[in-house]
Amino acid sequence: MIKAGIIGSTGYAGAELVRILWNHPQTEIVWYGSRSYVEQEYAAIYRNMFELVEGKCFDDNIEELASRADVIFTATPQGYLAGVLTEDILHKVKIVDLSADYRIKDVAVYEKWYGIEHKSPQFIEEAVYGLCEINRNKVKNARLVANPGCYTTCSILTAYPMVKEGLIEADTLIIDAKSGTSGAGRGAKLPNLFCEVNENIKAYGVASHRHTPEIEEQLGYAAGKEIRINFTPHLVPMNRGILVTEYANLKKKADGTYPVYEEIKAVYDSYYKKETFVRVLDKGVCPETKWVEGSNFVDINFVIDERTGRIIMMGALDNLVKGAAGQAVQNMNLLFGLPEKEGLMLVPMFP
């Protein structure tokens, strides 16, 4: 059995890790870390775990946890892991970090967008960006995995085949993204109160959202050059889910025509047909958050706008599963040589 510890287990992503790992046949949770609820019964905080989880919450002593666990999940705010990580800890245990601390390779870019000093930049280079469908072979041999963000996972996977194959002009990419309120975390914040969110939709982080450089960096690797995109997130009154709608100019072929549906569908299928958790939908079917809720699936599709020479790409996922905890467990499976889908074949919930 893999002994797993979770620091930040009482946030939404941490609680989702508990739910998934509790059902994982090869994993035992040995540490429910929570700075806010030390010594309190975990099931008293999340009563859906009544008579399922018997453990109490520990603090965030990562040094002690590293001696007890095989893998540590850090579902913590930006700056926590970077502030405590040492070579001694990484020598003892594998870490899957759900924060942004090791996602961006340029420390100056991280510090600019997140507004904090990075305390352990010496580990950035070795950290593997844990988007399994793209980096699985690198993940398998990693000590430190930077679990991608929820918006970024959906945005990157939706556009990746088009960027990688050079079928779009990457610098024309515009991403319009919408998220449920759980993406903002469990902390009490005025903008997330029911009366503020219900019957409302709003853009935020316009031209300044922290996931922008992460998307640009990863799609830049696919393009083979630096790219610049427009990314605009929106908050919608639902618990879970992310929907992205992405627009880009298609590149003309040598004969001066644009690629047709069958050609682009063949490209998407070549990248994702064998991927368990990426589902390329049938022609004319648009992704919906409801059809991936509670699961580790990403649904993707596209429409060609022949009138404008653009392609509209769409993707949907559950921000707490494939966008956070599910992807983290997918990375854990790779780290320990387990089948990648172990413990993750969660049927989407409906209604």
* Residue that is written with structure tokens 């990248």 in the block: 271
- Name the residue ranges covered by the structural domains of the chain: 2-126, 151-318
Distance CA 311, CA 265 (A): 12
Task: In whole angstroms, give the CA distance from residue 242 to residue 259.
Answer: 28
pTM score > 0.85 for this model?
Answer: yes
Q: One fold for both 2-126 and 151-318?
A: no
Residue 243 φ then ψ, to 5°? -125, 125
Q: What is the DSSP annotation of 69-90?
A: -SEEEE---TTHHHHH--HHHH
Identify the burial level of 350 via C-beta atoms within 10 angstroms of its C-beta, where 0-12 means exposed, 13-18 middle and 19 or more buried: exposed
Return the pLDDT at 188. Answer: 77
Half-sphere exposure of 76 (CA within 13 A, CB side): 29
Contact between residue 93 and residue 72 where contact means Cβ atoms under 8 Å apart: yes
The CA-to-CA distance between both ends of the chain, in Å, stands at 34
Q: What is the DSSP string of 297-310?
A: -EEEEEEEETTTTE
* pLDDT value of position 186: 86
Distance separating alpha carbons of residues 15 and 317, to the nearest angstrom: 18
Tell me the CATH architecture of domain 2-126: 3-Layer(aba) Sandwich (3.40)
The first and second tokens of residue 15, run together, are 């609680």
Q: How many CB atoms lie within 10 A of CB 257?
A: 9
Contacts of 254 (CB under 8 A, 6+ apart): none
Q: How far is 164 from 179, CA to CA, in rounded Å?
A: 26
Catalytic residues: 150
Q: Given this model, what pLDDT does residue 315 score?
A: 98
Integer angstrom CA distances of residue 334 from 19, 88, 137, 187, 338 = 19, 23, 8, 31, 6
Beta strands 242-249 and 174-179, pairing class: antiparallel
Query: Helices 150-164 and 132-139: crossing angle, nearest 10°?
Result: 100
Of 235, 221, 302, give the one whose Cα is nearest residue 262: 302
CATH architecture of 151-318: 2-Layer Sandwich (3.30)
pLDDT tens by residue, the chain, 351 residues = 999 999 999 999 999 999 999 999 999 999 999 999 999 999 999 999 999 999 999 999 999 999 999 999 999 999 999 999 999 999 999 999 999 999 999 999 999 999 999 999 999 999 999 999 999 999 999 999 999 999 999 999 999 999 999 999 999 999 999 999 999 888 878 988 899 999 999 999 999 999 999 999 999 999 999 999 999 999 999 999 999 999 999 999 999 999 999 999 999 999 999 999 999 999 999 999 999 999 999 999 999 999 999 999 999 999 999 999 999 999 999 999 999 999 999 999 999
d(C-alpha 138, C-alpha 286), whole Å: 32
The pair of structure tokens assigned to 76 is 């913590």
Residues 187, 188, 192, 194: is their CA dihedral positive or negative? positive
Contact 79, 120 (CB under 8 A): no
Q: Report how far residue 287's alpha carbon sits from residue 313's, in angstroms, rounded to the nearest whole number.
A: 10
The pLDDT value recorded for residue 185 is 86
